[in-house]
Amino acid sequence: MRFATFAAAAALTFATASLAPAAFAAGDAMGTKTGTITLSAKSADVGIGYTWGDANLRFGGKTYKYSITGGTIAAVGFSHIEGKGTVYNLHKAEDFAGTYAAAHGEATLGNGLGGLVLENKNGVRIKIETATKGARLASSAEGLTFELKN
């Protein structure tokens, strides 16, 4: 049990130290703030994992609903993720949908915190802070696809 606690603490330190400063320091140079996003998702991982959920984009005085799917490498566990964030460089709503690449860090044992910075091929960037529940450890690359719901 002592080793598991030590391993969890070491992993949390690595995830926080290696990803969070780069992700959140980048916030100063993200671009022009153009919208906000909230999301709710679940992630299940055993080395390679899968993420699914829903998101609401607030842009130009309207709310757009999206489904989220994606994959993760270098993670293990299961978590429920609630997040909110800022969208940058979005000039028209149709540029939001698509696949985003992310650097992601999460350490959850019960409750946890995480964050990620995403960017798609249209130059749209998203900075998200997350609160998680479950048991999951991730310091990984991630790809998330946002698809507009009808």
**What does the pLDDT look like over 12-63, one tens digit per residue?**
433 444 444 444 444 458 899 999 999 999 988 777 778 899 999 999 999 9
pLDDT for res 141? 67
Written as six digits, the tokens of 112 are 């946890």
Query: Considering the domain boundaries, does residue 86 fall inside one?
Result: yes
Residue (of 36, 112, 129) closest to 78 by Cα position: 112
| Domain range enclosing 139 | 33-148
As a whole-number percent, the residues of the chain with pLDDT over 90 amount to: 44
Query: Considering the domain boundaries, does residue 55 fall inside one?
Result: yes
Query: Considering the domain boundaries, does residue 13 fall inside one?
Result: no
Query: Considering the domain boundaries, does residue 2 fall inside one?
Result: no
Total count of domains within the chain: 1
Query: Considering the domain boundaries, does residue 108 fall inside one?
Result: yes
Alpha-carbon span 102 to 90, nearest angstrom: 17
Full-prediction pTM beyond 0.95?
no
